[in-house]
Amino acid sequence: MKYIVGIGGMTNGGKTTLTNSLLRALPNCCAVHQDDFFKPQDQIAVGEDGFKQWDVLESLDMEAMLSTVQAWVSSPRKFARAHGVSVRLDASDTHILILEGFLLYSYKPLVDLYSRRYFLTVPYEECKWRRSTRSYAVPDPPGLFDGHVWPMYQKYKQEMEANGVEVVYLDGMKSREELFHQVLEDIQNSLLNRS
């Protein structure tokens, strides 16, 4: 069985942290990180607001991300081997792929592929604070969070809801351990119901 999990939601909600814990715990599990598909800096548009528009779908090479997912779908074993994930021969024939990123549910060709879509959120103040402690490959210029990051987050989330995309909301204020156990149990239950 092939099972695709989305760990989506806002920037600094805790997506990458949660994904790394799940990867260690789930058998035959690979991950694809949306952050690996940002286009080069010189291809990122500059908005009327003067900010580079990192937080829009057009700044990501989503076709390349889709191809990567399709490669996993066509052969999860080959994909796992190529990505250094050991395939457990004793485990049932279940293969899991985690897609992780801040715009997972806004790209039409991917949206129906998920078996389960999670969406991490934290309150505005917490998000802004966590973001201020991060160092991205391209550092945030002053004012980016309020001028670009937060408005784009709200826009895409509203679109997702208007399109009726079903997600399981996760409270990113819970501890790392609590979130990990909650999602691990939920995935395990969902797998049991399918088998």
Q: Which residues are catalytic?
A: 35
Decide: is 49 part of the binding site for ligand NMN (CB under 6 A): no
Nearest-angstrom CA–CA distance, 84 and 44: 32
Which pairing describes strands 2-9 and 95-100: parallel, antiparallel, or unpaired? Answer: parallel
Please give the single-letter amino acid code of residue 145: F
Decide: is 8 part of the binding site for ligand ADP (CB under 6 A): no
Nearest-angstrom CA–CA distance, 60 and 36: 9
What is the closest distance, in whole angstroms, from the C-beta atom of residue 20 to ligand NMN in the complex?
A: 12
Q: What is the maximum alpha-carbon separation in the chain?
A: 56
- Return the number of the residue (43 or 75) whose C-beta is nearest ligand NMN: 43
- Return the number of the residue (1 or 57) whose C-beta is nearest ligand NMN: 57
How far separated are the first and last CA of the chain, in Å rounded?
8
Q: Tell me the window of 66-74, 133-141, 170-178, 179-187 that interacts with ligand NMN (CB under 6 A).
A: 133-141
Decide: is 149 part of the binding site for ligand NMN (CB under 6 A): yes
Nearest-angstrom CA–CA distance, 87 and 70: 19
Binding positions for ligand NMN, rule: CB under 6 A: 11-12, 15-16, 35, 38, 54-55, 102, 136-138, 149
